[in-house]
């Protein structure tokens, strides 16, 4: 479903991605782990077409996206839903308006149909009845759920999660992980989760990839990664710091 070939990206003098090759099959649940600044979120943004590579290509269902027109790219993006790290909600809008923002903007559905679609998405993330609330009235976990409801209103084929459990306590983080699994199973979608949370890694993924210095350093099942004797993998999953080690 998704093919990434020799992807390179630099920002100024900083090389973030250094020849990433990756294939993600339909229905797969891939977790991308790695330290801060290793290129995880940048890779996500390339996959959805928000960032153009310096070199290399991304293909969705065999179609390269680098040379697509804006109209064609919008069509491809309809395959995706994305939960951003900070939820990215509009503080001045209600929950209903946030979730239905793009549907309302496109003006392709009548208001009643939009309200029904939004209500269904909110029920799916266990937030039924919250339509009139504002983001300031929500907890961090609820905001994540609203962001996820917005990501699934189009019933996407692929859902991208950028650090979905960041800033949440362990109990709420577990509930978000359970939602990731629920979306995968009920919507039958391909799932890509970027995280540095090794507990989430073991819960939501059937494959894990470790990025290190802009390259894929390790690739395997959650258990293979968690039990790896590779020093870089071992230090990351066990949270071991040593000033003599190379930075992630």
DSSP secondary structure string, 199-246? HHHHHH-SEEEEEETTEEEEEE-HHHHHT---HHHHHHHHT---TTSP
Q: What is the mean pLDDT of residues 85-99?
A: 91
pLDDT at res. 104: 85
Q: Is 111 helix (H, G, I), strand (E, B) or coil?
A: helix
Q: What is the mean pLDDT of the chain?
A: 90
Sign of CA dihedral 123, 125, 126, 128: negative
Rounded Cα distance between 81 and 147, Å, is: 10
- Report the side by side order of strands in the sheet with 63-64: 14-24, 2-11, 55-60, 63-64
Q: What is the pLDDT of residues 26-38, one digit of tens each?
A: 999 999 998 888 8
H or E stretch covering 7: strand 2-11
Please count the helices (runs of H) and the strands (runs of E) in the chain: 10, 10
Q: What is the mean pLDDT of residues 64-79?
A: 83
Q: What is the mean pLDDT of residues 227-241?
A: 87
Q: How confident is the model at residue 197 (pLDDT cuts 50, 70, 90)?
A: confident
Rounded Cα distance between 124 and 126, Å, is: 6
pLDDT above 50 (res 247): no
What backbone torsions phi and psi does residue 208 show, to the nearest 5 degrees? -130, 135
pLDDT at res. 121: 94
Q: What is the mean pLDDT of residues 182-201?
A: 91
Domain assignments of the chain as residue spans, ordered by start: 86-155
What backbone torsions phi and psi does residue 26 show, to the nearest 5 degrees? -60, 130
pLDDT at res. 242: 59
């Amino acid at each position: 479903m998704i093919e990434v070939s020799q992807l390179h990206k630099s920002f100024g003098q900083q090389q973030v991605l250094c020849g990433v090759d990756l294939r993600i099959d339909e229905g797969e649940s891939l977790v991308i782990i790695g330290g801060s600044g290793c290129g995880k979120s940048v890779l996500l943004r390339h996959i959805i077409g928000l960032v153009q590579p310096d070199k290399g290509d991304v293909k969705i269902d065999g179609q390269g996206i680098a040379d697509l027109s804006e109209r064609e790219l919008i069509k491809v993006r309809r395959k995706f839903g994305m939960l951003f790290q900070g939820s990215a909600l509009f503080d001045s809008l209600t929950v209903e308006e946030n979730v239905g923002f793009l549907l309302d903007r496109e003006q392709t559905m009548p208001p009643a149909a939009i309200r029904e679609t939004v209500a269904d998405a909110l029920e799916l993330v266990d937030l039924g009845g919250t339509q009139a609330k504002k983001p300031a009235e929500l907890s961090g976990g609820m905001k994540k759920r609203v962001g996820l409801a917005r990501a699934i209103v189009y019933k996407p084929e692929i859902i991208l999660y950028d650090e979905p459990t960041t800033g949440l306590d362990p109990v709420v983080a577990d509930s978000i992980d359970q939602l990731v699994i629920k979306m995968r199973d009920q919507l039958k979608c391909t799932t890509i989760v970027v995280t540095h949370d090794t507990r989430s890694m073991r819960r939501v993924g059937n494959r894990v990839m470790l990025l290190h210095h802009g390259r894929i350093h390790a690739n395997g099942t959650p258990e293979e990664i968690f039990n790896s004797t590779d020093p870089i993998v071992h230090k990351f999953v066990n949270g071991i710091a040593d000033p003599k080690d190379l930075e992630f």
